[in-house]
Structure 1
Amino acid sequence: MEPSIQKTELKKSCVNCGAELTYKPGTTSIACEYCGHQESINIDEQGFEELELYPYLKEMGAQKHSEEISMLHCKNCGADQHVEENYKSLHCVYCSMPLVVEDAYKEQWILPGAVLPFQIEKEKSFGIFKKWVDGLWWAPNKLKKAALDPQFTKGLYLPYWTFDAQLAASYTGQRGEYYYETQRYRDSNGKTQTRQVRKTRWYPASGKVSGFVDDTLIKASRQKAGRVPKKIARWNLKKLQPFNSSFLSGFVTEKYTIPLQQGHMLAKDVARDIAERWCRQDIGGDTQRVSSMDMNLTQETFKHILLPVYVSAYRYKGKEYNFFINGENGSISGSRPYSAWKIILAILFGIALIAIFVFFTQK
């Protein structure tokens, strides 16, 4: 296999003032935040392609379809980040510890085939985050102050693998159909009562199922403690664009650390769950048992893609807290600290109200 190596665009400077042009979320343009000059991003009219899986699994060791980039490694939490921006220094998007450009190192990176560009601007994500923080009960005042500082909110592209395949499976199992019998029993008073007891009749079942499994999404980075919550990890993949580095300009990109081969194995586990669900649907009845299943995947393809999130990292009493906003649809989730003093004061206030109520009702 001789795949063509994708070309990325170099960072562009504003023709008016010389500042770096950065991607403007929700558009296909890069813009100057100082003078407002904009330039269109050239979108590949041929779109992005689904790559044949097995030829690439054999070629991965050669690092084809790749380029050399500068990586920043966080010594505190271990995250590897690539910055398409001329920062002199910045903070890790996950744990807020300082990162320095002088610590950057070069590494070969297999280019993504597609990217879902940010659809929400940083200012809007900041507003979503602030509204969420303001609605938290008993949150420390320091957290609310952190919510007022935009430097703690960073735009991050997360790496994912997607897999497509034709799935076929044959199975044997049993179809269960419910029926009810009347049962007599004595209650606590010794009286005879009746009740309906559900039972199941089992019948042998076998058959074949088949279908297309589209865009099985597998995360491609070992995010510490499963950082990105499932609640926000849903994107409309129909908005994917052919990869162009201009979409990354002004944002941080996390490098994939789960190789293609491992991602494929995880995708097969997902496909097996899908196959079993199809088998149960095919068996029918009220309940089902799948005794054996032989699954086969063909015409397997994959993509390496980047998906957008905004991350706000905050440290409180030595513990890390992360808040995530989906960069495409604005959904938010995160962990939060509690202020012990606010909780204690609330309890004391509640006790005082009860004492006042009792005092006046006894007069």
Structure 2
Amino acid sequence: MDFHPHGNEPMEEQKIQKTELKKACANCGAELKYKPGTTSITCEYCGHEESIAIDDKGFQELELHPYLQEMGSQKHSEEISMLHCKNCGADQHVEENYKSLHCVYCGQPLVIEDAYKENWILPGAVLPFQIDKKKSFLIFKNWVKSLWFAPNNLKKAALDPQFTKGLYLPYWTFDAQLYASYTGQRGEYYYETKRVRNSQGKMVTQRVRKTRWYPAAGEVSGFVDDTLIKASHQKTGRIPAKISSWNLKKLQPFDSGFLSGFVTEKYTIPLKDGHLQSKEEARDIATTWCRRDIGGDTQRVLSMDMKLSDETFKHILLPVFVSAYRYNGKEYNFFINGENGSISGSRPYSFWKILFAVLAGLILIGVIVLLANK
């Protein structure tokens, strides 16, 4: 084992991983945290700010196939500390000094002493939070006010912002040159007029649409850019599709400064599985291109031979706020997109409001029927 020349500790134990560097404020020594919507890290105590250096080279697209082999998968990787929630099973990495720490999903305390080390493929890009926790909680409060059939006192319920956590979700993106040859059929509509008997027994003229089919074959090719594949099925399966849309043009080259003060979920879907899913997405894209190439009014793709080349990928991190609130002893979850502020969540309903609405509707129907019979 190699030893550092200035001490007795192994060199491996003295190595500080880039993703776990915690920068201290030059003025007061407190930890600097990322300020959403900026390229700065800031001190919550004295207001000191420092800029995050953005890599002028842009994103690093990694060649896919070396990573699908065992040796290649170790390149561009680092060791990070992970905490496992014994209550809900989520694994999470926190880019800050551990204080009072709770699971981002279920709110249960995490045992700091249980932290363990694990390798991950370094993110190639991150979409930094564009809104802060205060704004996310305001979005949540306005959402509560807008709920139909919600209990009146829900708006007055004690909703604690401290349980709202910013979370970076892991995704894979895949790029490739796509080529496909196909055989199919082009359909062209035409119309015929015929006499039919309607529901009243009368003979009427009806225009009927029919299709003439012609053989078609050809080739399509193009660049498939940033096919987005979810990289975790452990807890992110709970993230609603309604908020799972981000503007990837806002991606920044990865810098650990963007993670400061937030929780990061490690990918649990292997790169190999993500790649298989991306190939299915590419096949759907190729089919769309084939249909467009066939033309006509409608199309059939009977066979298709697809090939992908120059495949690259990135591990990227995308922002959401995750939280839960309790009402009448029951827990409800909500999620806010950390880039555009869209919200989705579960909520309680007022039995009495729904009952009175149903009764009012029945009374209204009864009045309409009564007036119609006069």
8 Å Cα contact 2:22-2:97 kept in structure 1: no
Cross-structure match for 2:41 = 30
Distance (whole Å) between structure 1 residues aligned to residue 326 and residue 195 of structure 2: 62
The 10-residue stretch of structure 1 (109-118 or 218-227) with the greater mean CA deviation from structure 2: 218-227
Aligned residue number for residue 372 of structure 2: none
Given candidates 251, 266, 270, the residue that maps to 1:259 is 270
Q: Which residue of 2 aligns with 1:361?
A: none
Structure 2 counterpart of 1:195, one-letter code: Q
Secondary structure of residue in 1 paired with 2:241: coil
In structure 2, give the amino acid aligned to 1:307.
L
* TM-aligned CA deviation for residue 229 of structure 1: 2.0
Match of 1:10 among 17, 21, 26: 21
- Determine helix, strand or coil for the equivalent of 2:226: strand
2:183 equivalent among 172, 177, 184 = 172
Q: Which amino acid aligns with 1:214?
A: D
- CA distance 1:147–1:172, change in 2 (3 Å): farther
Take 2:249 and 2:88, find their aligned partners in 1: how far apart are those partners? 33
The CA deviation at 1:145 is: 5.2
Does the aligned pair in 1 maintain the 2:170–2:230 contact within 8 Å? yes
How much does 1:71 deviate?
A: 1.2
Determine whether 1:198 maps to 2:213: no
The 3 A distance-change label for structure 1 pair 322 and 60 is farther
Alignment partner, residue 50 of structure 1: 61
Identity %: 80
1:337 is matched with which residue? 348
**CA 1:164–1:142 in 2, change beyond 3 Å: closer, same or farther?**
farther
Distance in 1 separating the partners of 2:146 and 2:120:
41
**237-246 or 94-103: which moved more?**
94-103
Deviations 1:263-308 (A, max 9, x none): 0000000000000000000111111110000000001000001111
User: Aligned-pair distance for 1:221?
Assistant: 0.5
Report the alpha carbon displacement of residue 168 of structure 1 after superposing the two structures with TM. Answer: 0.6
Q: Given that residues 96 and 315 in structure 1 are in contact (C-alpha distance below 8 angstroms), is that contact kept between their aligned partners in structure 2?
A: no
Q: Find out whether 1:185 has 2:196 as its counterpart.
A: yes
- Find the residue that maps to 1:90 and give its secondary structure: coil
Q: Shift in Å at residue 103 of structure 1?
A: 2.9
User: Match for 1:202: what amino acid?
Assistant: W
Gap change, CA 1:315 and 1:174, over 3 Å in 2 = farther
Residues 1-363 of structure 1 correspond to what in structure 2 (within 5 A)?
A: 7-8=18-19, 10-59=21-70, 63-140=74-151, 144=155, 148-224=159-235, 226-315=237-326, 321-344=332-355, 350=360
SS of 2:258's partner is: helix
Amino acid at match of 2:265: E
C-alpha distance after superposition, 1:75-96 (max 9, x if no partner):
2322211111223333322233
TM-score, structure 1 length as denominator?
0.88
Secondary structure (helix, strand or coil) at the match of 2:69 reads helix
Contact 1:66 1:111 in 2 (8 A): yes
Shift of 1:34: 1.1
**Kindly tell me: are residues 193 and 278 of structure 1, through their superposed partners in 2, closer, same or farther at Cα, counting changes over 3 Å?**
same
SS of 1:123's partner is helix
Runs of 5+ unmatched residues, structure 1: 1-5, 358-363
Residues 115-150 of structure 1, C-alpha deviation per residue, up to 9 Å, x if partnerless? 111111111111111111111123346754567421
In 1, distance between residues paired with 2:302 and 2:363? Answer: 62
Question: In structure 2, what residue type is equivalent to 1:313?
Answer: A
Q: Residues 8 and 245 of structure 1 are in contact (CA less than 8 Å); yes or no, is this contact kept in structure 2?
A: yes
Query: What secondary structure is seen at the aligned counterpart in 2 of 1:89?
Result: coil
Give the CA deviation at 1:186: 1.9
1:228 and 1:242 mapped to 2: Cα distance?
25
Task: Give me the whole-angstrom Cα distance separating, in 2, the residues matched to 1:97 and 1:347.
Answer: 40
**Structure 2: segments with no counterpart, 5+ residues:** 1-16, 368-374
Does structure 1 conserve the Cα–Cα contact (< 8 Å) formed by 2:234 and 2:268?
no
What is the number of residues matched between the two proteins? 352
The structure-2 alpha-carbon separation of the partners of 1:18 and 1:183, relative to structure 1 and needing over 3 Å to count, comes to same
Separation of aligned partners in 1, 2:97 and 2:187: 64
Amino acid paired to 1:251: F
| Cα displacement (A) at 1:60 | 5.9
Is the Cα contact below 8 Å between 2:184 and 2:300 reproduced in 1?
A: yes
**For residues 324-360 of structure 1, what are the alpha-carbon distances to aligned partners after superposition, in whole Å with 9 as ceiling and x for unaligned?**
2111111222232323354346557x49998xx9xxx
